[in-house]
Amino acid sequence: MPHSTALATPAPAAKPEPKSPAQKALEKLGLKRDIDLALHLPLRYEDETRITRLRDAREGDTIQIEAVVTACEVSFRPRRQLIVTVDDGTDTCTLRFFSFYPSQQKALAVGNRIRARGEAKGGFLGWTMLHPSFRTAGGELPTALTPVYPTVAGLPQPYLRKAVQAGLARAELSDTFAPGDLSVLDKGLGHHPLWTLRQALLFLHHPTPDVSLDTLSDHSHPAWQRLKAEELLAQQLSQLQSRRARASLRAPALTMAFPEPVGSLHNRLLATLPFALTAAQRRVSAEIANDMARHVPMHRLLQGDVGAGKTVVAALAAAICMDAGWQCALMAPTEILAEQHFRKLLGWLEPLGITTAWLTGTQKTKERRAALALIESGEAKLVVGTHAVIQDKVHFKNLALAIIDEQHRFGVAQRLALRGKLRHEAMEPHLLMMTATPIPRTLAMSYYADLDVSTLDELPPGRTPIVTKVVNDARRDEVVERIRAQIAQGRQVYWVCPLIEESEALDLTNATQTHAELSEAVRDVPTASGALAQVGLLHSRMPADEKKAVMAAFTQGHMAVLVSTTVIEVGVDVPNASLMVIEHAERFGLSQLHQLRGRVGRGAAASACVLLYSTGDAPRLGEAARERLRAMVETNDGFEIARRDLEIRGPGEFLGARQSGEAMLRFADLATDTVLLEWARKEAPMLLDQHPALAEKHVQRWLGGKSEYLKA
């Protein structure tokens, strides 16, 4: 009889074991892979390799002592605290703990021998240590410095040290390029950084006590140089991979006939503009036109100082796109900026027969539905709006050009969503990003290496130079008198406040109070029309309709003074405004101050920017604030401003959400590591061409999934 086999019932899948709080904390730090743990480097180090006798201690030194507990009690005066007295045979020391657990109190019982480490403070009652670290004495002293790692709540240092050590032991740390490749840096760095990755990491996690702590803290040690070189190489490789991958994608070829027909939209727009293009605008427009004529998606950053004329360049690019029968979308970060673009483009293009759609999140349903229909049918050749442009319900008929203004204020996902709006034969739209924050060279070489960069390096004629003055808030009355004089001459004034309402943390005058004070101060001043001066108020919490009404009144000259928060930072163009007052200027970033200053000087009248500052209770301004205000007085050049801003604050503000909130460079410093950056730029293409597998391994080791964010 044949043997029958019953079908086996599959065993139910085992449920994954729940993660411990410490495991969750590790993931919160982004420590998921062994290499993540290996690259989680110490913030600082503690020297537990030696014991200091109390008789040899010096005031203020951080020392480790080994002593016997002679007294341990909880005192309630002046507050609850654990007071422990220890004796090391040469002197005594009091250890004070204002927060403690019963287990700690037990470990500090009389008679126990401990090792305690902390800052030694002298006094009438002898040596004391406040909240020292301690453990039971015994065993050999460590031979390396003890690392102290960045951590989060629920992740104590002992657990983190063990996790990092385990990850370091398991991680695959073979070199992805020869140490000799770094020998070209000898001259630039002043030493021979021929350390392997493994040597560098083992040393930085457990440096020997004879190492110079300065070289560890300032990252100049050869081990640190090796890691920074590796990190910069990973970034350059990722950017290069992104650029090459994009070269394989397809986009609509938006070509212009040569010679261009007189009746083309592009030519008709040029003919109707009330001004002539600058040489820089013509050059940049040609660069963009050449990009769009190719089947490879354009990925270009248009940078230009405040008022350099980026909008007209964008309009000419849009005209080429629409001439070719495709749609164009322009997205701005705020409704005010989007509306400024919309009105300007409408004024140029509507007389030429172009239908433009307007999309924001505050539109009424009927208006929005009509706009969506125009976009989907293709009747609206140009779409202008805010984040609403990339929502799922927005369907373009044939989007071929996406323009993003102030691109650093958009998140990665938002930029990718706009690029994904073209669903036409697996093609992507051309992408033109604009910024009024010029990119310093080192940033362009690193974070923007995957972009083609066009620069508007001259201002249109007629822009008047802006005089910038730094004024103490104690002279506020003088500033108000200056405002009265400007109004009497028929001019308009901005007054920018940093807060909307009172804050306990920041005791600043709010916009509402300032509006009331200025309204009272100028209520008897006649304007050029003979009417008494009106003061408007604009802030981000106002309903959209109110914002529009206030902006329209100021733009049309019905309002003499506009008190505003930074919602007018970009996009507002009122040629008659000749004075900008920025209150508590010390609280603003340098780039933001420059953007605000650019709201004046747009007409023929002499213009000024007054930076009102206050030191509060402090005797003087902080160093960084002084540097920012000094830079504003010394230069109107946006590129010089950007360079100084990078020096003062580092690259973070220039990048926005380019890395989705995570700093892509954790170790390298663009301000000081230019030699390493130059090396990485040259090494990346050679490694990618000659050893592509090693290049990919290098990128994954350092960036993992984060490399995707560089491609937005």
Predicted local confidence at residue 663, as pLDDT: 47
Q: Give the rounded distance of the alpha carbon of 80 from its chain centre.
A: 44
Domain boundary among 602, 635, 668: 635
Whole-angstrom distance, CA of residue 565 vs CA of residue 301: 28
Q: How many structural domains does the chain have?
A: 3
Rg of the chain (C-alpha set): 32
Return the top range by mean pLDDT from 64-73, 213-222, 433-442, 558-567.
64-73
Dump pLDDT digits (tens) for 585-615: 998 888 788 888 888 887 778 899 999 998 7
Please list, in sequence order, all residues whose beta carbon lies within 8 angstroms of the beta carbon of residue 21, skipping any fewer than 6 positions away: 154
Task: Check whether residue 600 and residue 472 sit in a common domain.
Answer: yes
Domain boundary among 618, 635, 652: 635
Return the top range by mean pLDDT from 202-216, 491-505, 570-584.
202-216
Give the confidence band of 504 by pLDDT, cuts at 50, 70, 90.
Answer: very low
| Local structure of 146: helix, strand or coil | strand
Rounded to an integer, the average pLDDT of 549-569 is: 82
Nearest alpha-carbon partner for 381 in 426, 323, 299: 323
Residue found by looking up tokens 């984040």 in the block: 387
Dump pLDDT digits (tens) for 405-450: 876 555 556 656 666 666 666 788 898 988 877 777 777 777 777 7
Rounded to an integer, the average pLDDT of 375-400 is: 89
Please indicate, yes or no, if residue 489 is contained in any of the structural domains. Answer: yes
Rounded to an integer, the average pLDDT of 531-542 is: 84
Nearest alpha-carbon partner for 408 in 654, 140, 697, 133: 654
Question: CATH number, domain at 437?
Answer: 3.40.50.300
Q: Is the pLDDT of residue 94 over 90?
A: yes
Whole-angstrom distance, CA of residue 294 vs CA of residue 334: 32
Q: Is the pLDDT of residue 711 over 60?
A: no
Task: Check whether residue 381 and residue 519 sit in a common domain.
Answer: no
Predicted local confidence at residue 285, as pLDDT: 95
Predicted local confidence at residue 380, as pLDDT: 93
Task: Check whether residue 276 and residue 341 sit in a common domain.
Answer: yes
What's the helix, strand, coil split of the chain in %, to 5?
40, 15, 40
Going from the C-alpha of 141 to that of each of 67, 144, 213, 223, the distances in angstroms are 15, 9, 20, 25
Task: Check whether residue 443 and residue 542 sit in a common domain.
Answer: no
Dump pLDDT digits (tens) for 175-227: 898 655 666 555 445 555 568 899 999 999 999 988 988 888 888 898 999 99
Task: Check whether residue 615 and residue 496 sit in a common domain.
Answer: yes
Predicted local confidence at residue 213, as pLDDT: 85
Task: Check whether residue 431 and residue 492 sit in a common domain.
Answer: no
Rounded to an integer, the average pLDDT of 286-305 is: 91
Q: Using the 8-state DSSP alphabet, how is residue 331 labeled?
A: E
Please indicate, yes or no, if residue 470 is contained in any of the structural domains. Answer: yes
Whole-number average pLDDT of the chain: 84
Whole-angstrom distance, CA of residue 246 vs CA of residue 240: 10
Dump pLDDT digits (tens) for 578-590: 999 999 999 888 8
Please list, in sequence order, all residues whose beta carbon lies within 8 angstroms of the beta carbon of residue 463, skipping any fewer than 6 positions away: 307, 601, 602
Task: Check whether residue 443 and residue 485 sit in a common domain.
Answer: no
Please indicate, yes or no, if residue 505 is contained in any of the structural domains. Answer: yes
Task: Check whether residue 408 and residue 535 sit in a common domain.
Answer: no
Dump pLDDT digits (tens) for 12-61: 656 667 888 888 888 888 899 999 999 999 999 988 999 999 999 999 99
Task: Check whether residue 340 and residue 481 sit in a common domain.
Answer: no
Task: Check whether residue 345 and residue 400 sit in a common domain.
Answer: yes
Predicted local confidence at residue 27, as pLDDT: 87
For residue 434, the tally of other CB atoms under 10 A from its CB is 22
Domain boundary among 141, 156, 176: 141
**Six-digit token string for 19:** 């993660």
Please indicate, yes or no, if residue 294 is contained in any of the structural domains. Answer: yes
Predicted local confidence at residue 710, as pLDDT: 46
What is the distance in angstroms between the CA of the first residue and the CA of the last residue of the chain? Answer: 68
Residue 128's domain comprises: 50-141
Task: Check whether residue 449 and residue 506 sit in a common domain.
Answer: no
